[in-house]
A and B are shown apart, each in its own frame.
Chain A
Amino acid sequence: EAGVTQFPSHSVIEKGQTVTLRCDPISGHDNLYWYRRVMGKEIKFLLHFVKESKQDESGMPNNRFLAERTGGTYSTLKVQPAELEDSGVYFCASSQGNRYSYEQYFGPGTRLTVT
């Protein structure tokens, strides 16, 4: 079974540019999450999808961040326009839809550097 995949693995952009990160969850997983880790800090929750619906987006920093999950499969996270403080590693995770699946499975992350 393929794990959670993320693309790209690394992105370097200039302040003011736009970047789109992609996450492909484990097949059949209804729950999809985005997290971010700024260097040296804790991993912070950004948002949670159940299928194509946003269940909780309380962790999204501001309106420069837009997440979508069209069709309930893969998800994209767009940052527009990027700021220096957006630099960090963005993790995607997925879990099954039933209540007995408690752990989330993480992808390798996308390292975003804004210069």
Chain B
Amino acid sequence: AQSVAQPEDQVNVAEGNPLTVKCTYSVSGNPYLFWYVQYPNRGLQFLLKYITGDNLVKGSYGFEAEFNKSQTSFHLKKPSALVSDSALYFCAVRDRGYQKVTFGIGTKLQVIP
């Protein structure tokens, strides 16, 4: 079985400050990890993924995420938040060899001007 935990319902950060959205996962094998973002009244948009290799992966809009195998975490980060980053962020995991993706409950990011 695979699962994802996003411990924060909401994260508030001031514009220009660094942001972190937390994610931990559980999977029986080696994971593929993803971050998606949902803007109001829009579908989920792919941000970035970890497949293998470098633990720090870079994605769209200046976002990055760090894979930590020992802590089974995949936190999303950005050095300087923008008001336009305000949205709902979903972490997701997929066990290798399977197509089924398991999502977290989502974290609402609010960037305050």
Contact = CB atoms under 8 A, between A and B. Distances in A.
Chain A interface size range: 20 to 34
A40 B42 CA distance: 16
A55 B105 contact: no
Contacts of B32: 102
Interface residues of B, number: 23
B103 A55 contact: no
Contact of A55 (B94, B99, B106): B99
Given A55-B99, A108-B42, A41 B49 contact: no
B101 interface: yes
B30 interface: no
Contacts, number: 55
A91 B43 contact: yes
A85 interface: no
A56 B99 contact: yes
Contacts of B51: 102
Nearest to B34: A103
Contacts of A35: 103
A33 to B, nearest CB: 7
Interface in A15-68: 31, 33, 35, 40-45, 48, 55-56, 58-59
B102 interface: yes
Given A33-B99, A43-B90, A55-B99, A106 B105 contact: no
A105 B46 contact: yes
* Shortest 6 CB-CB contacts between residues of A and residues of B: A108-B43, A106-B44, A43-B103, A42-B105, A106-B43, A103-B46
